[in-house]
A and B are shown apart, each in its own frame.
Chain A
C-alpha cells in the first residue's frame, strides 16, 4: 500500500494575542503575545484507503491537523507530505455567496474544492440529485433553509472524487436522513480506495467510518490505532474533565464526602466484554472493587448514571436488608450492578458510590465514572428511550422506513 499521508514530528505554534495586532500598538510596544502549541511532535502515516477518525476534546489540535493536511497552514516544525487530490470538507459551502443561485454557487464551490470548470459541469446533475434541490437550484441561496444550504454544500464536496477526503464535523448538521446519506456516501468514496480523515465529536459517526482512531490531547497523540481503545481513552479524558463537576453534584443536599473507602477498580461490561458503546437493548453491568480504609458498619452500595450535564439520571442503592455487615480496614468488597441503558442517545457515565449506613456520608466516590455512549434510536429524542412505536392506520412507521431503506439498498445494487 502506498502512503497517502505522512506527518513527521509535526508541531504547530500559534500566537495568542491579547488584542488585534496593530502598527500603532507595536510601535508603542504594547502588543503582548503568548505562544500556543496546537500540535506537538505528531507523527502519523496513513496508507491509501485507510479511514482515520481523529478525536479529542476542544482545543486538542484536531482542526489544526486537518488544516495542515489541507495545506491551509504550514507546520512550525516537522514535515507533511500528502499524495493525491484532497477534498477539504472543513466546512460545507465554502465561498457560497448568498445573493447567487444554487447553480452558480455549485460551480464556484466545486472549483474551490479543486475541480475544474468542466468537471463541475459534468457532475452537476449528480450533485443536484444528491442534494435533492432541483426545485431550488436557480434560487439565490439566501432563500435556502440551513438544511438546504448544508445539503448543497455537502453534495458538492462528496462529488469531487478525491483521493483524500478530509471531514470536519460536518456530519453533525442536517437532518438525520441526510446524515445517513452522507455517511453512506463517505463509505462509497472509501470503498473506491480513497483515504478518509475525519474529525468529530460525534463518536457514533467516527465509529461508523473509521478503521483507526487517533486521539489527540493538548496537541499530543494519546492513542493511535484500535477504534475502541481510542474511544475508551477519549471517554476517560472526558470524565477526568467532569470529576470536579461530579463532586460538586455529589456534595449537594445533605450528603457530605468523608472518605473511608476507595474504589480500586471498575469496569463497564456489555454482552461481549468491556465496552463503551451500547445500544439501548443491550444490558450493561458496572463492576467495582472497593477497599475499605477504616472499619465500616453496614455501608450502602450504589450505582449512578450521570448525563453530560452532570445530572444523575438514574441511581440504584443496595437494599437496606443488607444490614449487620461489617468491613474491617483493608478489607475489599466486590460490587456490581446490571442495568438496561434505556436512555436517549448521548454520552453517559456509570459510577459506583459507597455510602454510610444512614446514606448521609459518602465514603467512596468513583468520580471518574466509566463513560459509555448510547446510539440514538432513529426518530427518538429525549432523556430516556421508552421504546415507543408509532402506528399510522395500523402500520408501524419504523418497519415501513426500514423496508424503504432496504428497497433503496437493493435498487442501488
Chain B
C-alpha cells in the first residue's frame, strides 16, 4: 500500500536524461489514453469511422496513379507504376498529414499544458499514434492490392516492417522537434505547410527518380526517399525499384541517410525537451 512518496524537485536547471526518460515511461498510460480519446473523438461522428482513414489516402493514390500514368506517361515497362505511386503516396500521406498537425500540437494543446503536468512530448506523439492506425491499415490494403495490380508478392514483403518503423519514427521525431520550436517561433506553422508542398514534389513519389536527372544521386539525400524506396522494395522488388530510381540512385545510401536523419533528429528533439519541457507553457 505505502508506495514511496513521489518527490518533485525543481530548479532552473534542465532535467537530467534519466528524469526525462523516467517521466515519459511514467506517463505512458496517459499518452495511450489521450491517443485513444483523440482517435475515438475523431472518428465518432463519421458513420464508417476508421474506413475513412483508410479510404481517403487510397483513393488519392489511385487518382494520382491513373491521372499521371495517362497524362504524364510517368510509368514504364520495367516497373508497375500504380503500385509505385500507391506505396509512395501512402507513406508520404501519413507523414505529411501527421506532421502538419503534430508539429503544432504543443501550441494547440495550450489548454492542457497550462493546467496539468505531463511530458510535453506526448502532445506531438498523439496524432502520430492515432494516424498510425489508418496508416497501418492502408499498408495492409496495399499488400492486398499489389497482386491485384499484377505484381507478385515475395519474401521482400518483410521490408515493410522496417519501412513502417522508419516512417513512424521519422514522423514522430521531426514533429516533436518542430512542435517545441513552434512555441518560440509561431510562424513555423505556415512554413511547415509551405515546406510540405515543396517537399512532396522534391521526393520521388508520383514520378520515378530516373525521369529527373539529379546529379550525384541527390534524391538519396532527401531522408524521405529512403523510406519510400523501402516501400517499393517491399512491393515491387529490388530490380523494379532500382529501375525506377535510375542509375544515379542507390537504395542503401538512401536508407542510411534516412536512418541517420532519424537518429540525429531524435537526439536533437530529446535534448530540446530536456531543456524546455517545463518552460513551453510559459509562452502560451
Which stretch of B29-37, B51-59, B195-203, B209-217 is in the interface? B29-37
A22's nearest neighbour on chain B, judged by CB, is B187
Report whether A117 and B117 are in contact in the complex, using a CB–CB cutoff of 8 Å. Answer: no
Q: Known contacts A21-B186, A90-B116; decide if A74 and B29 are in contact (CB<8 Å).
A: no
Q: Which residues of A contact B33 (CB under 8 A)?
A: 107-108, 111, 117
Report, nearest first, the 7 A-B pairs whose CB atoms are least far apart: A22-B187, A71-B117, A74-B278, A23-B185, A20-B186, A82-B8, A80-B10
Q: Is A217 an interface position by the 8 A CB rule?
A: no
Q: Which residues of A contact B44 (CB under 8 A)?
A: 99-100
Task: List which A56-80 residues lie within 8 A (CB) of chain B.
Answer: 67-68, 70-80
Report whether B8 and A81 are in contact in the complex, using a CB–CB cutoff of 8 Å. Answer: yes
Q: A22-B185, A90-B115 are in contact. List 18 more A-B contacts (CB 8 A).
A: A15-B282, A21-B184, A21-B186, A71-B278, A73-B278, A74-B11, A75-B10, A75-B12, A76-B12, A77-B12, A80-B10, A83-B5, A84-B6, A85-B5, A91-B115, A95-B37, A112-B118, A117-B33
A112's nearest neighbour on chain B, judged by CB, is B116
Report whether B185 and A72 are in contact in the complex, using a CB–CB cutoff of 8 Å. Answer: no
Q: Is B281 an interface position by the 8 A CB rule?
A: yes
Shortest beta-carbon distance from A61 to chain B in Å: 13
Cα of A113 to Cα of B281 in the assembled complex, Å: 17
Report whether A71 and B10 are in contact in the complex, using a CB–CB cutoff of 8 Å. Answer: yes
Report whether A73 and B8 are in contact in the complex, using a CB–CB cutoff of 8 Å. Answer: no
Report whether A81 and B115 are in contact in the complex, using a CB–CB cutoff of 8 Å. Answer: no
Q: Known contacts A78-B11, A99-B45, A111-B29; decide if A104 and B40 are in contact (CB<8 Å).
A: yes
Report whether A67 and B12 are in contact in the complex, using a CB–CB cutoff of 8 Å. Answer: no
The answer, among B111, B186, B188, B281, for a CB contact under 8 Å with A72, is: B281
Cα of A14 to Cα of B114 in the assembled complex, Å: 14
Cα of A14 to Cα of B281 in the assembled complex, Å: 11
Cα of A163 to Cα of B185 in the assembled complex, Å: 38
Report whether B9 and A100 are in contact in the complex, using a CB–CB cutoff of 8 Å. Answer: no
Q: Which residues of B come within 8 Å of A, CB atoms? A: 5-12, 29-30, 33-34, 37, 40-41, 44-45, 111-118, 184-188, 191, 278-279, 281-283
Shortest beta-carbon distance from B107 to chain A in Å: 10
Cα of A81 to Cα of B7 in the assembled complex, Å: 7
Q: Which residues of A contact B45 (CB under 8 A)?
A: 99
Report whether B115 and A94 are in contact in the complex, using a CB–CB cutoff of 8 Å. Answer: yes
Report whether A74 and B279 are in contact in the complex, using a CB–CB cutoff of 8 Å. Answer: yes
Cα of A67 to Cα of B113 in the assembled complex, Å: 10
Cα of A80 to Cα of B278 in the assembled complex, Å: 13
Report whether B10 and A74 are in contact in the complex, using a CB–CB cutoff of 8 Å. Answer: yes
Report whether A163 and B9 are in contact in the complex, using a CB–CB cutoff of 8 Å. Answer: no
Q: Which residues of B contact A68 (CB under 8 A)?
A: 10
Report whether B281 and A67 are in contact in the complex, using a CB–CB cutoff of 8 Å. Answer: yes
Shortest beta-carbon distance from A49 to chain B in Å: 14
Report whether A72 and B116 are in contact in the complex, using a CB–CB cutoff of 8 Å. Answer: yes
The answer, among A21, A79, A83, A111, for a CB contact under 8 Å with B283, is: A21
Report whether B7 and A83 are in contact in the complex, using a CB–CB cutoff of 8 Å. Answer: yes
Cα of A99 to Cα of B6 in the assembled complex, Å: 34
**Most B Cβ at <10 Å: residue of A24, A72, A108, A163:** A72
